[in-house]
Amino acid sequence: MENVDIARTLDDVAILLEIKGANPFRIRAYQNAARTVEDHSEPLRKMVEGGADLTELQSIGKDIAGYITELVESGTVQLIEDLEKEIPRSLIEVTRVPGVGPKRTRKLWEELGIETVEALAESAQAGDVAKLSGFGAKSQQKILDAIAARRRVVGRFKLSDADQYVTPLVVHMRELDAVQRLEVAGSYRRRRETVGDIDLLAIATEPQRVIEHFTTYRDVRKIELAGDTKCTVILTSGIQVDLRILPPESYGAALQYFTGSKEHNVRFRKRAVARGIRVSEYGVFRTDSNAEEPSDPLAGEYLAGREEEDVYEALGLPWIPPELREDRGEIDAAEKGSLPELITLDDIRGDLQMHSTWSDGKNSLEEMLDGCVAKGYEYFAITDHSKALAMTGGLDAAKLEMQWAEIEEIASRRSDIRILRGMEVDILAGGDLDLEDDMLQALDVVLVSVHSKLDLPTVEQTERILRAIQHPAVHILAHPTGRVLNRREPMQFDLDEVLHCAAEHGVVVELNAHPDRLDLKDTHLMRAKELGLKISLGTDAHRVGDLDLMHYGVDQARRAWLSEDDVVNAWSLERVLEWLESRGG
């Protein structure tokens, strides 16, 4: 029972209550609690076991704390069992069909007996949905399209995929002279590891021309809606793009608003309300308590909105980097002046995971070296695979010694960068390492990672990793959870226990910067930092070009509030060597 499972259960309760037509504020209470749980770095399971008081957590009161405890201890909650007696749980999926919310779900269920997405598709196909009051032919078609689209594109887009769609689109939009400013907001700007859609923001003199330019972009497959200031399209890739057009005096406010996250904005606006001001995408306004004009978004005295910095300043706060805007304490930190000095790409001085043609890399060792020199690095580690990964041409002791000879030869004539002799050593099924101890000791840097038997039972998997990282030669636990975004779930194991053990033994954990992995994820990294662990940002490059992926790691590190001091490969060579030599040798 991990935090994600608890959060999902709370979200399910909220949806069931919504279908039931419960008090909207009660519903939101469950949603807020789910968010808290999802973002909490420490497993609530452990807090429950340790007898901690869950009501200390934001948005969790006596009742929900009780439900969480019940859930952890018994695997289920009476509340949801009771709700399921009234409302089929499968209706939760129906509410996730775009255009169908809880109200319409209830109507479909009551009047047509629809309990599943499949049944909804069939009913819509048969034309029954259009006959319901409140629905029509267009609604019915939208539902059919939405279900078909859902089947085509599952889930969210990896940030690196989104980059591929966004970059040319931004170029296209900026080509139009009527566009004065254009930015990408949303989770893309917050640099989340995956994005659901793309939010574009424009200041323009002639909105209609901008909308037309947007909708005629070569990759637009479908126009979902087009108004005077707002337009939504679906690209051929299936990704949705929202465009909003605003006047200059609203630009900063809109950028703030559409960057989100939703949770950050809720907290932000509550702060505004407490100060008698109102924040919307149009700007910051002094609320006129006498005037009863809630319909006018421009009512009241305009205080700020032109630049994002002004909007934060109007609420007495410094500007907050987008990566932090997840309602994880950033507004409190901003207020206290204790926002972290976030790491930047410029801080990175080396890369401690990459491969060469010695195993499954596409470039030679010296080509990789040239790539690192071109990045201005002071050092890098070459970390080819060990022999257990036969398919990658992993190295045994003899081959590793041959590689060391090559490294020595190159180092003798290349003094522009320090080469560290490393290896990504496989963690075997029982937790042994795939290299002899004397060789491990002789390496400058030892990464260990799991590549096989990813589906061991939780307890065995945990034991296996714990055993491996307790080996005195180990420096870094690489891609700790083994997940591959949108393709492979993380391994089942007790990550928190592994992090504790790593902290105890001075082992560094990796943030694998490859955009397919980004492993550990942001909340895990926050937990690691909390436990005093240091982090290594490694690209896991298999070709020179992959060295450029470091920025995805930095994005993720920033989302985890990491600073230069938290990241070992932002340290000077001297400090890195000191750390490496303090272990192993």
Partner DNA sequence: GCCGTTTTCGGCCCGACTGTTTTCAGTCG
Contact present, 166 and 184 (Cβ < 8 Å): yes
Query: How far is residue 337's CA from residue 79's CA, in Å, rounded to a whole number?
Result: 42
Nearer to DNA, 121 or 342 (CB): 121
CA 114 to centroid of chain Cα atoms: 34
Query: How far is residue 349's CA from residue 377's CA, in Å, rounded to a whole number?
Result: 5
Nearer to DNA, 186 or 480 (CB): 186
Q: Tell the smallest beta-carbon distance from residue 328 to DNA (Å).
A: 15
In the sheet with 240-246, reading across from the earlier edge strand, the strands are 179-184, 197-204, 240-246, 230-235, 220-226
Q: Tell the smallest beta-carbon distance from residue 115 to DNA (Å).
A: 16
Close Cβ partners of 22 (under 8 Å, ≥ 6 residues apart)? none
- Classify residue 489 by its DSSP letter: P
- Classify residue 427 by its DSSP letter: B
Helices 522-530/495-505 angle, 10° precision: 40
Nearer to DNA, 62 or 487 (CB): 62
Residues of this chain that interact with DNA (CB under 7 A) are: 23, 25-26, 28-30, 32-33, 55, 57-65, 95, 97-105, 130, 133-140, 142, 186, 197, 199, 225-230, 240, 242, 258, 262, 265-266, 269-270, 273-274, 278-282, 294, 297
Nearer to DNA, 67 or 358 (CB): 67
Q: Tell the smallest beta-carbon distance from residue 270 to DNA (Å).
A: 5
Q: Tell the smallest beta-carbon distance from residue 280 to DNA (Å).
A: 4
Nearer to DNA, 188 or 571 (CB): 188
**Which tokens is 423 given?**
């290896």
Q: Tell the smallest beta-carbon distance from residue 530 to DNA (Å).
A: 21
Query: How far is residue 312's CA from residue 321's CA, in Å, rounded to a whole number?
Result: 11
**Which tokens is 277 given?**
């001001």
Nearer to DNA, 142 or 328 (CB): 142
Nearer to DNA, 279 or 365 (CB): 279
Q: Tell the smallest beta-carbon distance from residue 64 to DNA (Å).
A: 3
Q: Tell the smallest beta-carbon distance from residue 173 to DNA (Å).
A: 18
Contact present, 339 and 333 (Cβ < 8 Å): yes
Q: Tell the smallest beta-carbon distance from residue 174 to DNA (Å).
A: 22
**Which tokens is 290 given?**
């006498």
Q: Tell the smallest beta-carbon distance from residue 560 to DNA (Å).
A: 24
Close Cβ partners of 439 (under 8 Å, ≥ 6 residues apart)? 397, 400
Query: How far is residue 334's CA from residue 312's CA, in Å, rounded to a whole number?
Result: 10
Nearer to DNA, 121 or 427 (CB): 121
Nearer to DNA, 11 or 242 (CB): 242
Nearer to DNA, 154 or 274 (CB): 274
For 425, phi and psi rounded to 5 degrees? -85, 130
CA angle, corner 34, sides to 30 and 38, nearest 5? 175
Could you identify the residue written with the tokens 């990796």? 510
Q: Tell the smallest beta-carbon distance from residue 574 to DNA (Å).
A: 46
Contact present, 482 and 154 (Cβ < 8 Å): no
Nearer to DNA, 46 or 103 (CB): 103
**Which tokens is 350 given?**
């080396």
Q: Tell the smallest beta-carbon distance from residue 521 to DNA (Å).
A: 22
Q: Tell the smallest beta-carbon distance from residue 526 to DNA (Å).
A: 20
Strands 283-286 and 277-280: antiparallel
Question: How far from 243 is each of 94, 157, 204, CA to CA, in Å?
Answer: 27, 18, 12
Nearer to DNA, 300 or 480 (CB): 300
3-state SS string over 177-238?
CCEEEEEECHHHHCCCCEECEEEEEEEECCHHHHHHHHHCCCCEEEEEEECCCEEEEEECCC
Q: Tell the smallest beta-carbon distance from residue 137 to DNA (Å).
A: 6
**Side chain identity at residue 206, one-letter code:** E
Residue 126: how many other CB atoms lie within 10 Å: 12
The residues pairing with 201 across neighbouring beta strands, listed in sequence order, are 183, 244
- Classify residue 565 by its DSSP letter: G
Cis ω before 520 (30° cut-off from 0):
yes
Nearer to DNA, 39 or 281 (CB): 281
